[in-house]
Structure 1
Amino acid sequence: MKNFKSIIFQILWLASLFFTPFHLHAQTYGQNGMVVSDNVLASEVGIDILKKGGNAIDASIATAFALAVTHPEAGNIGGGGFIVLMKSDGEVTTFDFREKAPLKATPDMFQDAAGNLIENANSNGLKAVGVPGTVAGLYLAHQKYGKLPWPDLVQPAVDLAQKGFPMTWGLYKAALNMEDWDDSYDIMTNYFRNEAGEIIKPGELWTQPALAKTLSLIRDKGQDGFYKGEVAEEIEAYMKAKGGIITKEDLARYTAIERKPVKGTYKGYEIYSMPPPSSGGVALIEMMNLMEQADLQKIEFNSTAYVHLVAEAMRRAFADRAEHLGDPDFNPEMPLDKLTSKEFAKKRFENIDLKKASVSDSSKFGQLYDGSSTTHFSVVDKEGNAVSMTYTLEHSYGVGMGSAKLGFIFNNEMGDFNPVPGVTNSDGQIGSKPNLIAPEKRMLSSMTPTIVAKDGKPHLIIGSPGGRTIINTVFQTVLNVLEYNMRIDKAIEAMKIHHQWLPDGLVYEKHLMSPDTRDALTKMGHRLFPYNNLGVLMGITYDPKLKVYVGAADSSSEDGAAVGY
């Protein structure tokens, strides 16, 4: 009987793929709402919530919890992130649920006796784990702007974990890559395996009973189901047993924060994005201001001159990011108004040589490192409420550790702090004060959830994973839509580059840049580094002529989908 039910479930799931109105990796349309995420099942969960009368915040919460089940590489309850919300009346707000350093954290906790950074110390092991913020952030957003009951939003994720869903090829490939992981990655040892110890094959049901129990507690008790009671007790016990420093007190003290967005403009559009401790919004607006200074009518898209100009804008924004930005609760004097002003961009633009690459000087300012295990999704409802949400575990599958009793993976976000005070070098290690480790401080992030508006209504909802590349992939996609009027799928798929000031190199998508352009850029002084793919963007635009939302998921997402209705 159990096998028969499993077969029926798989048949129904496969059938739904053919009769649901969406395209996995192409542009799709929705008159009443849209969800674009890294997993088709999670996108469908969000759409179901919209159909039941929920708003964009409700759909985002349900999608986020579903991704914690279906996209464990980055979907999470063991990490943190950011939400940008534009309400139907045009008001914009944000939610900061970035992880925090534990109370026992110190500025030198990852250094050896000589004061040098211990290799990988800030990314491996449980001391690299920040106090998770996802559950608190989703709960706060619901308390402020949710419409449907909280349990209704968590239940779909409980069902997915408890009843299971067919293993995808993307998850199966990840499981095969983990076969040689040693026992120190405790939870990952059997994460994708059945009771017989075999890796679950594509199409077979994958259930997560421990995660289902944890999600049930969150469903029934709200954020207290995670930050207090048996989950918090198990987290503390697990940390003590394995060398971590997070305690029940850390969890009980954690709070998410509603913050004002950073705002910029570009040729009649309003750009709203995440303020610090995300650096993404400030850098995005600075770069858009820089591009507004250029005469783009005379610079052909993707030409050598265009790539050079974009790279130089990136170089300057990332240098300013590293010098000035950090947790605003610890850095109240950050010059955000200056960095996002048109006047500052004008001065910055004046020292761009349009025929020669600048030189990044590590003695003046720098840039830090971000991981790549992040996921983004975009949501809009029929009333015009829009959500851009990015959340993360830092590296792929975070720290690769977690209690088997709880069923989720912890982040390794402590690696986003500057690890050695005062030490900034050409390799990209940064030591500037704003982002040094301190108890209960939020580490700087590159996440860039963004909403672009036209006349007070959402025009573009966009974001991406990709760690340190997030800011630049979002920037180029926004530019593609606003300046070059590209449809959303083309804007997402167009060639992307990345320059982060330090290390001083221009990363490009190797199959999309021509050899002639590479040669010309090298002669201009750029150091080029090929990369397979930059970003995994999830975007929605609004077509005013058709009065319809248009969504697209990046083709580099194995299981991603835009779902509309």
Structure 2
Amino acid sequence: MKIKLFYLIACALFTTITNAQTYAKNGMVVSDNSAASKVGTEILKKGGNAIDASIATAFALAVTHPQAGNIGGGGFLVFMKSDGNATTIDFREKAPLKATTNMFLDKDGNLIAGSNHNGLQSVGVPGTVAGLYMAHKKYGKLPWASLVQPAVDLAENGVPLSYTLYKHALHYKKESEFMANYFTNEKGEITQMDEIWKQPVLAATLKEIRDNGKDGFYKGKVAKEIARFMKKNDGLITLKDLAKYEAVERAPLKGTYKGHDIFVMPPPSSGGVALLEMMNIMELADFNKAPFNSTPYVHLVAEAMRRAFADRAEHLGDPDFNLNMPLEKLTSKEFAKNRYNNIDWQKASVSDSTKYGQIYDGTNTTHLSVLDKDGNAVSLTYTLEHSYGSRLGSPKLGFIFNNEMGDFNPQPGYTNSKGLIGSAANIIKPEKRMLSSMTPTIVAKDGKAVLVIGSPGGRTIINTVFQTVLNVIEFDMPIHMAIETMKIHHQWLPDRILYERGLLSPDTVKALEAMGHTMEPRGQLGRLMGITVDSDNKVYVGASDSSSPDGGAVGY
């Protein structure tokens, strides 16, 4: 596709302010922390495959990127083999057995503000270790212990405390006793920037996982301490919860866009369904009439988002509890035609909290991307929910618990214009996996991976990944530009367009407001980690989002 002149000018301007792309012939790892990316690349050099490298990188991130890298949370992995076949692993957290549908409501049936994100009752049963272990057992190549050992070394020997983590140390020390001691040194003082930060307690926990695999977390001394700590502090997770937890391998959802195949997670990730619905809508557009970042283009993107998020809210949840989700319909080309034909090009649609998507008929996670020398690809997103999750943990274990129970719909039947959703598909039930916005994605052409992408960002994840995929496929953007260029976010409710401050023309903002859109500037949306393939020259091209100060793309 020919690239418009204005786009070339934008590329020239942005190249001077964005992270440089990284090029490699044999393999690439891109993550939120360059030290963790180097761990993954070393695994590739030793003969490991993309699965091995993703596992080692994920464990390393639990040490170097603790605000989201974790063994106390959960997530999703999309794996595309070099033969073109793809699969996914769902290691999303689950509600404990003692959880109840109304557990966060007062006597009048109203949500107790903040209760679903604060305290140990907000913690879901962690899935990360089980998910990484399943990936290794099914598709790994190197010994398990060799993949966990680098994280043990980082925790035991220490890493220089980055400026980002130093700021976090000062900010979060007031959150809890655990966080007050989390970044301290051997003297009991806050570790200073660039000083070596050691985590001996976390190292001991990682050794249990290294030596005993999944059982090192879900059984034995680690599990007993989790259960003891929960019981003592009014948490819900028990030894039975831990022993019963299993990751699940699920068939990916597959969509197409102009000759490309798109592999994404099925529910309980909502991101894959929404991304495919929006890509199908955009495939119908005439971009000569709605050129990139013009008023018609932004309007179209926002309306596609509005429709996909309304459908997400109405239908999606844990597939083991929702047996009749209309996934085939929501991701079909015909359904997209109805959604597209309903768009009014002169004015904004209405987001009606009482009707979900029916009227359209007719803030912490981290991501890593890996490609190995054989073309095997992994897109892995995992999370603690908020930055540093619940900000709670046992001082005997050294890792932070998630607060993922807040991703359930806490007040059944009540949806409001502020974005509180009450649809039945995602209400709390014991052992249910909460709906997620994580959107790990692999794009292929002719059976080979050409784009591996994902992002943190809460509900904005879906839209930042969607726009980046569109930027690469439709507008031929190099990966660093696809990541950095202006993005917007609309999630049906609240009814507003968030846009990155300083990157959208003031005239365009005014024109969209005149069409009925509520415009709200924000900082950078998403924190994308991506790899593309220069097939002609057999070169991998990686880039980490400039909003990730410690991130890095590392290849060899």
TM-score over 0.5 for the pair: yes
The secondary structure found in structure 2 opposite 1:318 is helix
The secondary structure found in structure 2 opposite 1:462 is strand
1:155 Cα offset (Å): 0.1
1:241 Cα offset (Å): 1.0
Aligned residue in 1 for 2:550 = 559
From 363, 369, 372, the counterpart of 2:354: 363
Q: Which amino acid aligns with 1:240?
A: K
Please tell me whether residue 153 in structure 1 is matched to residue 144 in structure 2.
no
Residues 243-271 of structure 1 deviation map (CA, whole Å, 9 limit, x = unaligned): 10100000000000000001100000000
1:484 Cα offset (Å): 0.2
Query: Does the CA-based 8 Å contact 1:186-1:400 persist in structure 2?
Result: no
Aligned residue in 2 for 1:276 = 267
1:241, 1:533 → 2: CA distance? 40
Please tell me whether residue 82 in structure 1 is matched to residue 73 in structure 2.
no
From 121, 124, 135, the counterpart of 2:115: 121
Aligned residue in 1 for 2:5 = none
From 134, 139, 146, the counterpart of 1:140: 134
Query: Does the CA-based 8 Å contact 1:375-1:392 persist in structure 2?
Result: yes
1:210, 1:198 → 2: CA distance? 16
Residues 307-348 of structure 1 deviation map (CA, whole Å, 9 limit, x = unaligned): 110000000000000000000000110000000000000011
Q: Which amino acid aligns with 2:241?
A: D
The secondary structure found in structure 1 opposite 2:554 is strand
1:176 Cα offset (Å): 1.8
Residues 169-188 of structure 1 deviation map (CA, whole Å, 9 limit, x = unaligned): 11111112124x14xx2310
Please tell me whether residue 442 in structure 1 is matched to residue 433 in structure 2.
yes
2:488, 2:138 → 1: CA distance? 38
From 186, 189, 210, the counterpart of 1:198: 189
Aligned residue in 1 for 2:31 = 37
5 Å-filtered alignment, 1:240-319, equals 240-319=231-310
Aligned residue in 2 for 1:8 = none
Q: Which amino acid aligns with 2:78?
A: V
Aligned residue in 1 for 2:60 = 66
Q: Which amino acid aligns with 1:545?
A: D
The secondary structure found in structure 1 opposite 2:288 is helix
| Unmatched tracts of structure 1, length 5 or more | 1-22, 367-371
1:297 Cα offset (Å): 2.5
2:18, 2:493 → 1: CA distance? 36
1:514 Cα offset (Å): 1.5
1:193 Cα offset (Å): 1.4
Query: Does the CA-based 8 Å contact 1:24-1:562 persist in structure 2?
Result: no
Please tell me whether residue 50 in structure 1 is matched to residue 44 in structure 2.
yes
1:24 Cα offset (Å): 9.8
2:177, 2:301 → 1: CA distance? 43
1:410, 1:359 → 2: CA distance? 39
Query: Does the CA-based 8 Å contact 1:25-1:561 persist in structure 2?
Result: no
**Against the structure 1 CA distance between its residues 318 and 172, is the aligned structure 2 distance closer, same or farther, given a 3 Å change threshold?**
same
Aligned residue in 1 for 2:372 = 381
From 444, 451, 454, the counterpart of 1:460: 451
Q: Which amino acid aligns with 2:60?
A: A
2:504, 2:338 → 1: CA distance? 30
1:175, 1:534 → 2: CA distance? 24
Aligned residue in 2 for 1:3 = none
The secondary structure found in structure 2 opposite 1:298 is coil
Q: Which amino acid aligns with 1:117?
A: L
| Unmatched tracts of structure 2, length 5 or more | 1-16, 358-362
Q: TM-score, normalised by structure 1?
A: 0.94
Please tell me whether residue 130 in structure 1 is matched to residue 130 in structure 2.
no
5 Å-filtered alignment, 1:158-557, equals 158-179=152-173, 181-182=174-175, 185-365=176-356, 372-557=363-548
1:203, 1:426 → 2: CA distance? 45
What RMSD over aligned residues (CA atoms) do the two structures have, in Å? 1.0
1:441 Cα offset (Å): 0.2
Query: Does the CA-based 8 Å contact 1:24-1:553 persist in structure 2?
Result: no
Q: TM-score, normalised by structure 2?
A: 0.95
The secondary structure found in structure 2 opposite 1:343 is helix
The secondary structure found in structure 2 opposite 1:119 is coil
Q: Which amino acid aligns with 1:352?
A: I
Query: Does the CA-based 8 Å contact 1:126-1:239 persist in structure 2?
Result: yes
1:75, 1:438 → 2: CA distance? 26
Structure 1 residue ranges (4+ consecutive) displaced by more than 6 angstroms after TM superposition: none
Aligned residues: 535
1:297, 1:218 → 2: CA distance? 55
1:365 Cα offset (Å): 2.1
The secondary structure found in structure 1 opposite 2:255 is strand
Aligned residue in 2 for 1:27 = 21
The secondary structure found in structure 2 opposite 1:536 is coil
The secondary structure found in structure 2 opposite 1:85 is strand
2:185, 2:59 → 1: CA distance? 23
